[in-house]
Amino acid sequence: MQEFVAFEHDLAAGIVGNLTGLFGQMLDVVDDMIFVKDLDGAFVYNNAAHLAFLGIERDAARGKTDFDLFPATEAELFFAHDTRLLESERPVVSVHPARNEGGQPVLDVAFKSVARTTVGEIIGLVGIVKRVPVGAVTTDAAVRAQVSAIVTRTFSGSIEPTQLQALDQSVVAAMRQARELTA
């Protein structure tokens, strides 16, 4: 996933150009939320799932930042993740509580990785957000196992056991917060 996207052109022109065709149509049927940002944190691509979550059209999202689309505390958190990613060039995984379209608690498991040109220059970042249900019938152990499996599969060997342990602690805290949303 570290080099998930490699385009030969600048980010805005290259990614938007590549994602308006068949590849973009394929990403639009994916249930996971997928987005691409430039080095300034502006969205240059959002798939249909992410646009539906944001509640805006594709053209309205392009050029916006997290600070334009989310409450300040969330935007600051996302910005911190993006900054850490761009400084370290190491993928970032975060877990935070949210609600799905039906109002049920979920965990959003976000993966972010740098986007590079074919010669290795960093031109932005790519993010994928997977939603994991957290309901009364879902056990904590099942949710934790599902998140761990998603992360392990996504990073196939590039994640350390200590990172998985830290992520597990984040999952436990996020599950508690998600359940408090319904209390």
Residue 131 lies in a domain: yes
Q: Is pLDDT at 10 greater than 60 in this prediction? A: no
Residue 157 lies in a domain: yes
Residue 141 lies in a domain: yes
Q: Which domain holds residue 71?
A: 6-182
User: Which pair of structure tokens corresponds to residue 142?
Assistant: 């099942």
Quote the percentage of the chain above a pLDDT of 90.
Answer: 34
Residue 144 lies in a domain: yes
Residue 16 lies in a domain: yes
Residue 1 lies in a domain: no
> When comparing pLDDT for 165 and 131, which is higher?
131
pLDDT at 156: 65
pLDDT at 36: 93
Report pLDDT digits (tens) over 50-76: 999 999 999 999 999 999 999 999 999
| pLDDT range class, residue 34, cuts 50, 70, 90 | very high
As a whole number, mean pLDDT of residues 162-175 equals 70
Q: Are 43 and 63 in contact (CB under 8 A)?
A: yes
C-alpha angle with apex 102: 99 to 108, nearest 5 degrees?
A: 30
Q: Which residues contact 82 (CB under 8 A, 6 or more apart)?
A: 37, 41, 92, 112, 125
Other C-beta atoms lying within 10 Å of the C-beta of residue 159? 17
Distance CA 106, CA 19 (A): 28
Range of weakest confidence among 66-70, 119-123, 144-148, 157-161: 157-161
CATH of the domain at 164: 3.30.450.20
Residue 114 lies in a domain: yes
Number of structural domains (the chain) is 1
pLDDT at 147: 76
Residue 165 lies in a domain: yes
